[in-house]
C-alpha cells in the first residue's frame, strides 16, 4: 500500500513533518521553525534503503540508489 505522504525531518530543529505528496511542489517548510525543507529522506518501497534527495528531485521521479526502482509512483486517481 502506497502512502499519500512523506515524513520529512527538519535538518534545523529535528521536527518530523508530514508532507502530502501533492504538496511537494509548494516548497514545504517546517511546522515548528518554518525552515525550508530542502532535503528529503525517502525510504525505498522495495528494499527499504533511506535515500536523500534534494527538493527539486521528487518532480523527476527519482530512483533508489541500491535497487534502482522508483521511490514513489505517480497515480492520477490517488486522493491526497
CA distance 66 to 28: 27
What's residue 77's pLDDT?
43
The contacts of residue 56 (CB under 8 Å, 6+ apart) are none
Using alpha carbons, select from 61, 63, 65, 62 the residue that is nearest to residue 74. Answer: 61
pLDDT averaged over 10-residue windows placed end to end, the chain, 80 residues: 73 86 79 83 86 69 89 56
63's CB contacts (< 8 A; 6+ apart) are: 69, 70, 71
Question: Partners of 70 in the beta sheet?
Answer: 63
pTM for the complete prediction? Answer: 0.47
- Note the pLDDT of residue 53: 80
> What is the predicted pLDDT for the residue at 76?
43
As a whole number of angstroms, the distance between CA 69 and CA 71 comes to 6
Amino acid at each position: 500500500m502506497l502512502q499519500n505522504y512523506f515524513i520529512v525531518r527538519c535538518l534545523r530543529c529535528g521536527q518530523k513533518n508530514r508532507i502530502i505528496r501533492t504538496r511537494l511542489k509548494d516548497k514545504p517548510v517546517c511546522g515548528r521553525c518554518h525552515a525550508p525543507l530542502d532535503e528529503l529522506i525517502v525510504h525505498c518501497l522495495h528494499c527499504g534503503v533511506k535515500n536523500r534527495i534534494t527538493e527539486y528531485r521528487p518532480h523527476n521521479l527519482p530512483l533508489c540508489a541500491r535497487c534502482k526502482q522508483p521511490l514513489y509512483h505517480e497515480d492520477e486517481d490517488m486522493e491526497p
